[in-house]
Chain A
Amino acid sequence: MVQVKHLPLPYFEINKNYDIQSISSITSKTFAVGDNFLNIVDDDSKKKVEEYIQPKVKDIEMELVLNTIEAPTSLFNVYVTWEGETGHIICQPLQDQLEKLSKQLDDLRARLTSSDFDLIEKKEELEQTLIRVNKLSGPFLPLSERLVFVPLFGDLDKHMLRLIKPHIVDALNQSDYSYILFDFSAVDVITQEGLTELDQFFQTIQLLGQKTIISGIKPAQATTIKFSNWFRQSIKVANLETAINRYLVPSKQKNKYSS
């Protein structure tokens, strides 16, 4: 086995008591080799050696921490085969690769530490606030026994409409209002999904027996909504003032004032 001297990796030939029989020349450059293989094994790896490096475990590959000349602990991938009671061990150094990995993980860890959990919490808070803002964007305001006023604010998308719908429908359900006036003066964008949602919303209201009035639609919005059912089936009034004049004051009183 003269050739083993020239192996490009640390090599040990041992007996079952881990006594070293021969080594490759690179071995003595890497380790302070004594009589016994266990002498270069780190304490935390000794159990692993005793468990897995023995004649009855024929071939095995495993990681071990070994003491080298350069470092007190260094990671190796170790290959072992047995020929009767003679063990052959080749050690492939892994420490450099490990250090690269460690460094990457450390950088990652540093970034994670600074990844601001405050920010995550603020985001959660913001989401809650948004839900609240949406909920408050369609207040239910009874103006008389027969007229309810719902001014809408902001952008009408499905999230916003789904949030305001339940409390309006609930309130209508327990009342005898004849008209529900939706004012769109403070509405900016109505999304496509918002239109679909409005359709269902108005249908529900009409099923409950109330007439829907719409005021404050801007010309730009009118072109996108003019074919929608909810729009066509509602009473349309140019602005809020007209709507209130027309529907707030009962017709009898109106006659009295106008005469």
Chain B
Amino acid sequence: MQQTYEKFAAFLLEGNHKEAYELLQNEKEDSLTIYMEIVTKAMQHIGELWQTNQITVADEHLATSVCDYVLSHYTFKHMSKEEETAKHKIMFLCLEEEQHTIGTKMAAALCQEKNWKVKLLGANLPLEYVISSANKWKPDVIGLSAAIAYRLPVLKQYIETLEELEGKPKVIISGRLASTFDLSNYQSDQTFVLKDLRSFNSWLENYQKGVSVNGAS
């Protein structure tokens, strides 16, 4: 039988944003499960369809854009509406020359549900821009997404720079590289490598607990 994520992938490839959105909307699961079991798996499935020569890169790009739109719509409905009282700030970005934004979008949505203040810088960001934007906005956490293997040296440079920013923000490394490569030597007491959205979610929860405990003491 066709899995839900395959159905979702098929809608994305058809450019059918309406059906794709309704599929997510009609799911009973919480959004973390939806992001992991439907959206992430659908995008992986689309990658496999290219690997098996069933679709083109252009198809993949179209599907990604539709997915992006559907996610925006879905997450808008689910975000916490009390942004004024948000305590923590998190900023997301993809490495320069990288276009894989769906993951950061889902991570950002999880934060918004937990009433974080979120800034999504988007795809393909030069480091200088990231620095100036972080200096202005002063995030507590910076989420970095990396997907392409040959970008690893750049990733290192990003981490080193971001760790040194004023306010010493925590740095999170995630994305396809973090789930396929062992990046443990990039970790420090300031930088964390998180394999997937579930571990990101737990990290957020611990961070919130940790901060409130520290704040009370």
Contacts and interface: CB of A to CB of B under 8 A. Distances in A.
Are the chains A and B members of one assembly? yes
Nearest to B62: A105
Contacts of A113: 72, 122
A175 to B, nearest CB: 43
A17 interface: no
B50 A101 contact: no
Q: Which one of A43, A73, A105 has the greatest number of beta carbons of chain B within 10 Å?
A: A105
Contacts of A121: 76
A121 B81 CA distance: 12
Nearest to B58: A101
A62 B53 contact: yes
Contact of B51 (A48, A75, A98, A112): A48
A109 interface: yes
B61 interface: yes
A113 B148 CA distance: 24
B68 A63 contact: no
B200 to A, nearest CB: 22
B149 interface: yes
A72 to B, nearest CB: 5
A73 B148 contact: yes
A112 B50 contact: no
B53 A98 contact: no
B57 to A, nearest CB: 6
A176 interface: no
A248 to B, nearest CB: 49
Contacts of B72: 112-113, 117
B57 A43 contact: no
Contact of A72 (B52, B73, B150): B150
A197 B61 CA distance: 51
B123 interface: yes
Contacts of A126: none
Interface string B147-164: 011100000000000000
A112 B62 contact: no
Nearest to B73: A117
Contacts of A117: 72-73, 76
- Interface range for B: 20 to 34
A60 B62 CA distance: 24
Nearest to A110: B122
Nearest to B105: A113
B58 A109 contact: no
Contacts of A62: 53
A75 B150 contact: no
Contacts of A73: 148, 150
B53 A94 contact: no
Contacts of B76: 117, 120-121
Given A112-B68, A117-B72, A117-B76, A63 B50 contact: yes
Q: Which 6 interchain pairs have the tightest Cβ spacing?
A: A117-B76, A62-B53, A105-B65, A112-B69, A72-B150, A48-B51
Given A62-B53, A63-B56, A106-B99, 14 more contacts: A43-B149, A51-B52, A52-B53, A73-B148, A75-B57, A94-B57, A98-B57, A98-B58, A98-B61, A101-B58, A105-B62, A105-B65, A108-B65, A112-B69
16 contacts: A48-B51, A51-B51, A63-B57, A73-B148, A75-B57, A98-B57, A98-B61, A101-B58, A101-B61, A105-B62, A106-B99, A106-B123, A109-B69, A112-B72, A117-B76, A121-B76
